[in-house]
Structure 1
Amino acid sequence: MVSSTVVNTYPLSNYTFGAKEPKMEKDTSVADRLARMKINYMKEGMRTSVEGILLVQEHNHPHLLLLQIGNTFCKLPGGRLKPGENEIDGMKRKLSSKLAASTPSFQPNWQIGECVATWWRPNFETIMYPYCPPHITKPKECKKLFIVHLTERDYFAVPKNLKLLAVPLFELYDNVQRYGPVISTIPQQLSRFQFNMVTS
């Protein structure tokens, strides 16, 4: 794990993007997802998930890489940890599953930085909080967001049914309607970091 208050951001044009086989979503709707979460909760207990904050820069401003499903829904790369799986190992596994080429020689060297936010899902509902409400003794999900330090150049393979977008922080800020409560608060969470805009 890399701990640093400085985040080097490299130009989006430094990165190469390719495609790989589609990664089908397990759920076709939010209701399906919550129903599956309930079944898994009965078997394994609280869901623990990790998501990565990957930053590039354009026009001297940090941009967040988001995966877009369909025309509207955006999410961070990441997902559920296996029972007992270490968070950093799980984060690397999920990033490779979402963004790495199928060829082992093209695997990025993922540098996982610090955890910048923890979100809690008290019930089998879409609502999540950046704290666990005091009356909730058995939250249903704990989601942690980690900063991922990208290298200067890399190759990302994006599943064919998804798009990878580079969204400027100013567009995310306070834009809950478009990006939801978790993604729209990332600019605040990153405010304590110093961005080193590497231009070459």
Structure 2
Amino acid sequence: MLAPLVLPFQITFAAFAVLWCVGALTLQKPKRIAWLTLAAVLLFIPSCVGVMALVDLQRYGRFDYASASDIPDDGYIELPAPATDITLYRNGAGHWAKFTIDTPSLRSWIDERRSLRPDLNQHHDDDEWLSTASDRQRPDLLELNKQIFGNRFPDTGWTYGPSMLQVHVSRSDRGGGYTVWHVPSTGDSYISAGYW
């Protein structure tokens, strides 16, 4: 997805447009305007990369919030409104988060998210919320779930526990959506989202 490139491109284009206009107004000779235009064309991509590096320092990385209402609304981050103690990792392709929420509130939010695209979420039922710890502690499944969890949350230090419930929400027929892991006894929840 090219969405992360749009803002740096717009900033760089606007900056070069302003500089070119100022240069064109102050430099009367056509030769100087030609050099200014050539310099703008040659420097556009390196400048865009530099602007992108600066912008990415502000919009990507780790962020901590007390509640979901503290998260700036950008149209991409979807977390339950009652979520608290949020640790959010953002990148250009998605986000990961750890937060605390009670099971009924999380379940209500998951059902609401699934109802937005019922055509993509028909395969879910109440059994996923009722699976027992013994189902999740089978050695083959336990190792697989640990591996999946570790791959979804690299470099966070978060660990998989056998008491975690795992639910999926599909938001796009291109594969976008998220997976939520939830520990009912503590309310600790983890979300791995891919943008669509």
Q: Whose strand proportion is higher, 1 or 2?
A: 1
Q: Structure 1 length normalisation: TM-score?
A: 0.26
Q: Per chain length, whose mean CA-contact separation is higher, i.e. which structure has more relative contact order (CA < 8 Å, sep 6+)? A: 1
Q: Whose helix proportion is higher, 1 or 2?
A: 2
User: Which one has a bigger Cα radius of gyration?
Assistant: 2
